[in-house]
Amino acid sequence: MRRKRVVVLGATGSIGESALKVAHDIPERMEIVGLAANSNAKKLAAQANAVRPKAVCLVDESKIAELRGALEYEPRIFLGEQGLIDIACLDEAEMVLVAVVGTGGLRPALAAIEAGKDLAVASKEILVMAGEIVMREAGGKGVQILPVDSEHNAIFQCLDSQRERLTPNAQRPTPNAEVRRLILTASGGPFRNTPNEQFESITVEQALKHPTWNMGPKITIDSATLFNKGLEMIEAHWLFGVEMKRVEVVIHPQSIVHSMVEFTDGSVLAQLSHSDMCFPIQYAVTWPERVPNSLPPLDFGKVRQLEFATPRYEDFPALNLARRAGDEGGTLPAVLNASNEIAVAAFLAGEISFPQIWRTVEEVMNRHGSVAKPTLDAILRADQWARQGAANALQTH
């Protein structure tokens, strides 16, 4: 048992904070050697002062004075987009936790793989956009891609039951002929039972109130539209190498069952815990081992009920849009992801209605001529094209 040395990209966000908690909770197994954020110099400095990593990185170079002023020691400081790539390749690091919201984590993630680091991936965007490339490069380098998104981490844990039998050398577990379906659970978000006639009048404040998870604003809105689950379907497809048609979604309002794997004999394995991202982060860091922590155990007397329901596909078109993007593949998932990001930002700014989020995504997807087997450049071009397309679509409405 050794301490894993981890760089956290997106340290000041919701996942980043949870990662710091995990490191504090299991100090004998996790050491933070680098922390990176976008522009929140004050918070990054406070985190660094507490944890004392060897290096920190701020993408927004204009905040350097603020960062230096608030640091109480002298870590190596990386700056800008190149800085994020450089800290992801830090010599001291064995693992990089990618928890950057949006697409900014893609190049650093690929650089970390190239440098031989294992990746713990929270940023689903990078797998949605470039899952094929990320998995291929990781396979080529022999590095592990460990899922942190709670659903994928759950599936990873369920598949782990097969690992020892099928791959004795603690290889990363992957589905085999014995797996029939991957079943992603979704809380259903705050509008699970809201009649669709009321969708037009949904406010930002209502959409930001997630019933079970406490997360950053972008993913919270995605949970309300179900785009989050749509992105996760594509994420699962790439992470586990399973066709889209074998990735399904079930609504589970309690968010206690984090996802399930159905095997060919009809048996289903599930992973359960409280809805706290510290669980999947810890598993990614200590895998293939499990270690004790101070997280609260599940009290089944208090849980009492676990409910499941079929999603309202007609009322929440995000799921079918994502299935279409995942089935078609190529650059279409990147287009879905980018146009959704623009539409969510416009919704958060009070510029568009809630249903306009998926109408915008569909409109941009319909106009896209997808490129099959895209290179990284083709993916990034499609991403830019979709951002512009979504902005134009929003202006003309």
Q: Which does 124 bind (CB under 5 to 8 A by kind): ligand NDP, Mg ion, none?
A: ligand NDP
Burial 230-241, CB ≥16 within 10 A → b, else e: bbbbbbbbbbbe
Instruction: Check residue 13 for interaction with ligand NDP (CB under 6 A).
Output: yes
Shortest Cβ 105–ligand NDP spacing (Å): 7
| Rounded Cα gap, residues 270 and 235, in angstroms | 18
Q: How far apart are CA 333 and CA 131, in angstroms?
A: 10
Instruction: Among 6, 55, 101, 184, indicate the residue that binds ligand NDP (CB under 6 A).
Output: 101
149 lies in the binding site for Mg ion (CB under 5 A): yes
Nearer to ligand NDP by C-beta: 54 or 124?
A: 124
At its nearest, how many Å lie between ligand NDP and the CB of residue 280? 8
**Token code pair at residue 98:** 């990618």
Residue of 5, 6, 14, 83 that binds ligand NDP (CB under 6 A): 14
Is residue 59 within the footprint of ligand NDP (CB under 6 A)? yes
Structure tokens at 335: 């287009």
Cis (ω within 30 of 0) for the bond into 288?
Answer: yes
DSSP, residue by residue, 332-387: HHHHHHHHHHHHHHHHHTTSS-SHHHHHHHHHHHHH--PPSS--HHHHHHHHHHHH
- Which of the ranges 142-150, 304-312, 352-360, 389-397 carries the binding residues for Mg ion, by CB under 5 A? 142-150
The residue at minimum Cβ distance from Mg ion is 149
- Contact flags string 98-137 toward Mg ion, x per CB under 5 A: ----------------------------------------
Measure the CA–CA gap between 57 and 39, rounded to whole angstroms: 10
* Partner interacting with residue 10 (select from Mg ion, ligand NDP, none; CB below 5-8 Å by kind): ligand NDP
DSSP-assigned states of every residue in 68-101: HHH-SS--EEEEHHHHHHHHHT-TT-SEEEE--S
The tokens of 161 are what?
């039951």
Output the CA torsion sign for 37, 378, 341, 395.
positive
Least Cβ distance, residue 351 to Mg ion (angstroms): 27
Per rule CB under 6 A, is residue 11 in the interface with ligand NDP?
yes
Query: Is 356 near ligand NDP (CB under 6 A)?
Result: no
DSSP state of 239: H
Please tell me the distance from the alpha carbon of residue 150 to that of residue 271, in angstroms, as a whole number: 10
Write the CB contacts of 254 (distance below 8 Å, at least 6 apart in sequence). 187, 212, 303, 305, 306, 307
45 belongs to the binding site for ligand NDP (CB under 6 A): no
Under rule CB under 5 A, residue 222 binds Mg ion: no
Shortest gap between Cβ of 50 and ligand NDP (angstroms)? 15
> Residue 238 CB, nearest distance to ligand NDP (Å)?
15
Encoded tokens for 202: 């949904």
Which of 376, 349, 346 has the alpha carbon at shortest distance from 364?
346
Closer residue to Mg ion, CB minimum distance, 80 or 102: 102
- Applying CB under 5 A, which part among 28-36, 41-49, 148-156, 261-269 lies near Mg ion? 148-156
CA distance linking residue 285 with residue 73, whole number of Å: 27
Tell me which residues in 195-224 interact with ligand NDP (CB under 6 A).
Answer: 213, 215-216, 218-219
| Site residues (CB under 6 A) for ligand NDP, limited to 23-42 | 37-40
- Kindly tell me which of 149 and 362 has the beta carbon lying closer to ligand NDP: 149
Q: What is the dihedral sign for C-alpha 360, 364, 367, 370?
A: negative
Q: By C-beta, is 219 or 318 nearer to ligand NDP? A: 219
Q: Which is nearer to ligand NDP, 102 or 211 (CB)?
A: 102
Binding site for Mg ion (CB under 5 A): 149-151
Binding site for ligand NDP (CB under 6 A): 10-16, 37-40, 59, 84, 99-102, 104, 122-125, 149, 213, 215-216, 218-219, 277
